[in-house]
Amino acid sequence: MSEQGTERAVLDYFNSSREDENPFRSLTTLFENVAGQSVPYADSYDVEDEVYSKEALRVILDQMVSDGLLETKMGERDYEASYCLTDQGVYEASGFDQLAVGTPANSLVTEDGVPIVTESGDFIIVGDVPEADIRHAAITVNSAEWTGLTKTIVDARNARVVSSLINKALDSLPGAHADNFKTMQAAAYLKAARELVDAPEPPSEEIWRLISRAADIIGLAGLFFTIFSQAFK
């Protein structure tokens, strides 16, 4: 496993354990779940692999800290470093480069990049509710209205307004009462959108795509639509 492959494996591991309440993972835990998967017998294997010890993995993890992907803290009892994703790490772990190619920018999509659309053309975004209550708890957003909103061109004339609205959307995230990872993930999408808004030539399509994914992940599509649509009336 190359250093780049190890970094990807670390991000994937954190991504797969996002439901856990404690976001930190010790060096030993990461070694067992990342390096240990490719090196079954860490003390006696004889294969070509760059990650052959905890020390080698620690060097890579510390580099990820320097790159802003992870933050670290020292354990109080075992004196071993633990790591967790930063917002940038969540951004990378969420696979922004894996966003569905060809998916319309005006669509609200699942975390797998699949649009959720009713037969009548309404996008359905389901919040964090018991499965039995899904039919009654779904929030619907009219796709025609959302399409009109997402066709708004973001440029120098309205960039400051859009950036301010993204800040409002960020402030609304705690109200979703979602788990910590989903909140961090949605925040990462919104912050990425805000960075694009500040670009010399804001890519409107990608900005609305990121906002749409954040709305879907956190289950606040209706609120997001209200925030952004009222400002452009």
- Which domain-ending residue is among 93, 119, 140? 93
User: Do 133 and 221 share a domain, yes or no?
Assistant: yes
- How many domains would you assign to the chain? 2
CB 197 within 8 A of CB 179: no
105 and 13, same structural domain?
Answer: no
Indicate whether 74 and 179 sit together in one domain: no
Let me know whether 130 and 188 are in one domain. yes
Q: Provide the pLDDT for residue 69.
A: 86
Half-sphere CA count of 180, side-chain side, radius 13 A: 14
SS3 83: strand
In this structure, what CATH number is given to the domain that contains residue 44?
A: 1.10.10.10
- Give me the helices (H) in the chain, please: 3-16, 27-30, 36-38, 54-66, 87-93, 134-137, 143-150, 159-172, 180-197, 204-218, 221-231
- Range(s) of the domain holding residue 115: 100-231
- Verify that 119 and 54 share a domain, yes or no: no
Question: What pLDDT does 197 receive?
Answer: 87
Q: Indicate whether 57 and 144 sit together in one domain.
A: no
Q: What are phi and psi of 133, to 5 degrees?
A: -100, 5
Q: Are residues 110 and 77 in the same domain?
A: no
Q: What is the pLDDT of residue 224?
A: 73
pLDDT in tens, the chain (233 residues): 677 788 888 888 887 776 667 788 888 888 888 876 554 434 444 434 444 577 888 889 999 998 888 999 886 666 788 998 887 787 677 654 343 334 343 333 444 444 433 444 443 444 443 433 333 333 444 555 555 666 678 888 888 888 888 888 888 888 777 788 788 888 888 888 888 888 888 888 888 888 888 887 877 767 677 777 655 65
Domain match, 211 and 120 both: yes
Alpha helices in 17-79 (DSSP H): 27-30, 36-38, 54-66
Listed residue (202, 112, 135) closest to 166, CA to CA: 202
186 and 145 part of one domain: yes
pTM given for the model: 0.46
**Closest Cα partner for 1 from 60, 75, 44, 51?**
51
Residues 186 and 113 in one domain: yes
125 — phi, psi (to 5°)? -115, 120
**Which among 93, 113, 131 is the end of a domain?**
93
**Among residues 57, 75, 93, which one ends one of the domains?**
93
Q: What is the pLDDT of residue 100?
A: 34
Same domain? For 106 and 28 the reply is: no
Q: Which amino acid is at 174?
A: P
- Give me the pLDDT at residue 146, please: 55
Q: What spatial distance separates the first Cα and last Cα of the chain, rounded to whole Å?
A: 53
Q: Are residues 121 and 71 in the same domain?
A: no
Max alpha carbon distance in the chain (Å)? 67
Please tell me the predicted confidence (pLDDT) of residue 133.
37
